[in-house]
Structure 1
């Protein structure tokens, strides 16, 4: 058995597997009308109680550097004028 035959066998087995799954799903979809289906439903009271509560997140004191150029940013870093609040990942 060479690589071509091996790959053809593997592709054939996968194709049969996926076709079997598709046919099982189609057979399950054609169930008789009297068969109860598993459906998840919520009453309106539960939906009203489950509404998310908005919580205000504390905003940082400074959000951006104010639109500085790269040269100005390096100049401020040399003068220790920048405050590093977290590590920089590359």
Structure 2
């Protein structure tokens, strides 16, 4: 038996198997589903927001060494690296 025959036999067996599954689901799906919302599960929980410590701290403190903690564009990142404002420990791969 060659690889092509083996592959064709395997493909045929899988096709028959999945066709049988689809046919079974099609005929089994003919049952009418009339739940009218009687068996619907719903879960409701009351969630209150929690303020973290970072929200309470004033970020405009003059003693902080962190000047900018948000995202920057790639051009701004290279400018910060050129100014030696960014400390990196690994090589950057492109």
TM bucket, shorter chain:
0.5 to 0.7
- Unmatched 5+ stretches in structure 1: none
Instruction: Select the structure that is richer in helix.
Output: 1
User: TM-score, with normalisation over the residues of structure 2?
Assistant: 0.51
* Distance (whole Å) between structure 2 residues aligned to residue 56 and residue 10 of structure 1: 59
Question: Structure 1 residues 53 and 20 mapped into 2: Cα distance closer, same or farther (>3 Å)?
Answer: farther
Identify the residue that residue 69 of structure 2 maps to in structure 1: 62
Per-residue Cα deviation, 1:11-47 (whole angstroms, up to 9, x for no partner): 100001100110110121123x5x887x85036xx4x
* Distance (whole Å) between structure 2 residues aligned to residue 89 and residue 26 of structure 1: 55
After TM superposition, which residue ranges in structure 1, 4 or more long, deviate above 6 angstroms? 87-90
User: TM-score, with normalisation over the residues of structure 1?
Assistant: 0.53
1:4 positional shift: 1.4
* Distance (whole Å) between structure 2 residues aligned to residue 88 and residue 52 of structure 1: 44
